[in-house]
């Protein structure tokens, strides 16, 4: 199955570089390109791609507002934010807008491709080096996330609907562990971890793994000093 991607960046050279990389990658296809946030929203609605790779700083409508509009469509594309490490303030907004992942512009090309595939498959991701610092500060901020369905954000739900084992898995995910690391920690199979993740996504109304991490922090299940 081919993953269809829209590239949204106001720098033509960045789009050209990404397009060249994706052109040679099996299973990935560039469905369209946008130079503004408004154009990205339009292309996402018209072309129905699987993933939009979104720059944050663009003229007119920025990548955060574009992400909010794209993810407000229940059947819309997943959004990966393309950023730099000094864009933290923008990343907090993108998380709340419903972004499924973050890529850093100086990442290795194979990691960027793997990230696009992972998000297309429903596995949210945050670039190594950003995850815990970003999510901890995000979760510690007093402003609430937007309500479910309002621009792609969501209110972290109560944890009463999940089992004790599922809480344990959620806490480990919130701590930044991969499925393989969770399996090793709990001495269970990787397939069993995947089953738990699927159940957590369903019970907690989360779009992807990134939202599970946010839920773990915002409900107090995981946090600084815990």
Beta-carbon contacts of residue 195 (< 8 Å; ≥ 6 apart): none
Compute, in degrees rounded to 10, the torsion defined by CA atoms 8, 206, 197, 104: 30
What is the rounded distance in angstroms from the CA atom of residue 30 to the CA atom of residue 136? 34
Beta-carbon contacts of residue 106 (< 8 Å; ≥ 6 apart): 84
Q: What is the pLDDT of residue 127?
A: 54
Distances (CA, A) of 203 to 31, 55, 147: 33, 31, 17
Q: What is the pLDDT of residue 140?
A: 59
Minimum mean pLDDT range among 27-31, 83-87, 89-93, 162-166: 83-87
Average pLDDT estimate for 94-119: 83
pLDDT over 90 at 157, yes or no: no
Average pLDDT estimate for 144-170: 67
The domain segmentation of the chain, as residue ranges, is 3-129, 148-218
Q: What is the pLDDT of residue 155?
A: 53
What is the percentage of the chain residues whose pLDDT exceeds 70? 81
pTM (2 d.p.):
0.72
Average pLDDT estimate for 146-163: 59
Q: What is the pLDDT of residue 2?
A: 92
Instruction: Tell me the HSE value of 65 on the side-chain side, using a 13 A CA sphere.
Output: 11
Annotate 50-74 with b (16+ C-beta within 10 A) or e (fewer).
bbbbbbbebeebbbbbbbbbbbbee
Token look-up 């510690």 returns 140
Residue 224: which pLDDT band, with cuts at 50, 70 and 90?
very low
Architecture of domain 148-218: Orthogonal Bundle (1.10)
Say if CB 8 and CB 63 are below 8 A apart: yes
Residue 108 exposed, middle or buried by CB count within 10 Å (0-12, 13-18, 19+): exposed
Architecture of domain 3-129: 3-Layer(aba) Sandwich (3.40)
Q: What is the pLDDT of residues 127-151, one digit of tens each?
A: 555 555 565 566 555 554 443 333 3
Q: What is the pLDDT of residue 1?
A: 81
Residue 69: which pLDDT band, with cuts at 50, 70 and 90?
very high
Q: What is the pLDDT of residue 189?
A: 94
Between 195 and 57, where is the model more confident?
A: 195
Average pLDDT, the chain: 82
Residue 223: which pLDDT band, with cuts at 50, 70 and 90?
low
End-to-end CA distance of the chain: 42
pLDDT over 80 at 91, yes or no: no
């Amino acid at each position: 199955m081919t993953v269809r991607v829209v590239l949204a960046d106001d720098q033509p050279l960045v789009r050209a570089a990404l397009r060249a990389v994706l052109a040679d990658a099996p299973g990935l296809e560039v469905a369209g390109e946008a130079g503004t946030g408004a154009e990205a929203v339009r292309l996402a609605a018209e072309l129905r791609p699987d993933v939009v790779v979104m720059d944050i700083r663009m003229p007119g409508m920025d990548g955060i507002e574009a992400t909010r509009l794209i993810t407000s469509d229940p059947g819309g594309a997943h959004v990966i934010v393309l950023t730099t490490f000094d864009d933290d303030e923008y990343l907090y907004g993108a998380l709340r807008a419903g972004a499924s992942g973050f890529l850093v512009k100086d990442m290795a090309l194979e990691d960027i491709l793997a990230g696009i595939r992972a998000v297309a498959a429903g596995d949210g991701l945050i670039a190594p080096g950003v995850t815990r610092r970003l999510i901890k500060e995000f979760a510690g901020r007093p402003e609430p996330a937007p309500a479910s369905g309002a621009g792609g954000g969501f209110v972290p739900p109560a944890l009463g609907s999940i089992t004790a084992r599922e809480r344990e898995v959620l806490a480990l995910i919130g701590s930044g562990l991969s499925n393989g690391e969770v399996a090793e920690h709990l001495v269970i199979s990787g397939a069993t971890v995947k089953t738990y993740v699927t159940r957590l996504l369903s019970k907690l109304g989360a779009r992807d793994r990134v939202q599970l991490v946010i839920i773990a922090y915002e409900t107090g299940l995981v946090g600084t000093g815990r």
